[in-house]
């Protein structure tokens, strides 16, 4: 039986501030649950509301959240797909961390 290799990843998601505090908490909870379902050693770091370098969808501010996790190499593509189709996510970046 082959042992599946797992990698460390960091994902930064920028949520729309138009969702309000409750909306941001809800969408953040959904993404954390999705990551915990497919990954292990999940850490969340809220960076909070920050000014964007340039307007995205006519918005000048975003709510930044950093997720660190360990998972199989196929999950980041699925996470990126979900980020792209989820209303309220302005931007996302997922990178592998060298161990």
State pLDDT tens for residues 18-33: 999 999 999 999 999 9
Domain membership of residue 68 as a residue range: 7-97
Dihedral angle over CA of 80, 86, 92, 98, nearest 10:
-30
d(CA 56, CA 33): 26
Q: How many domains, in total, are found in the chain?
A: 1
Q: Is the pLDDT of residue 3 over 80?
A: no
Neighbours of 43 (CB within 10 A): 10
**For the domain that residue 88 is a member of, what is the CATH number?**
3.30.70.60
What is the value of pTM for the model shown?
Answer: 0.89
pLDDT of 35 reads: 94
What average pLDDT is seen over the chain?
A: 93
Residue 76 lies in a domain: yes
> Does residue 67 carry a pLDDT above 90?
yes
Residue 51 banded pLDDT, cuts 50, 70, 90: very high
């Amino acid at each position: 039986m082959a042992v599946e290799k797992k990698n460390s990843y960091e994902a930064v998601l920028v949520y729309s501030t138009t969702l309000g505090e409750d909306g941001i908490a809800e969408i953040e909870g959904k993404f954390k649950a999705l990551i915990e379902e497919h990954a292990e050693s999940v850490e969340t770091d809220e960076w909070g509301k920050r000014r964007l370098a340039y307007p995205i969808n006519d918005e000048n501010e975003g709510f930044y959240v950093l997720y660190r996790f360990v998972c199989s190499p196929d999950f980041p593509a699925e996470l990126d797909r979900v980020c792209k189709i989820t209303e309220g996510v302005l931007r996302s970046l997922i990178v592998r961390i060298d161990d």
